[in-house]
Amino acid sequence: MTAKQLASTLNLSARQVERTMALLKTTGRLERVGANKNGSWHVV
């Protein structure tokens, strides 16, 4: 699911979703698993 799709589902702006995802990444609650092309994000 892309940030744009998530924003639409949650009825938020794409920027709000991107900002929240950035916060989750910096706090270590969201991590990338796998390669850039074929990997995915996992909530820890």
Question: In angstroms, what CA-CA distances link 37 with 33, 34, 40, 41, 43?
Answer: 11, 8, 9, 12, 18
Is the pLDDT assigned to residue 22 strictly greater than 90? yes
Helix (H/G/I), strand (E/B), else coil: 44: coil
Domain boundaries, the chain: 3-43
Write the pLDDT tens digit of every residue in 31-42: 999 998 899 989
The C-alpha atoms of residue 36 and residue 41 are separated, in whole angstroms, by 10
The span from the CA of 5 to the CA of 26, in Å, is 22
How far apart CA 4 and CA 35 sit, in angstroms, is: 21
pLDDT category at 3 given cuts 50, 70, 90 is confident
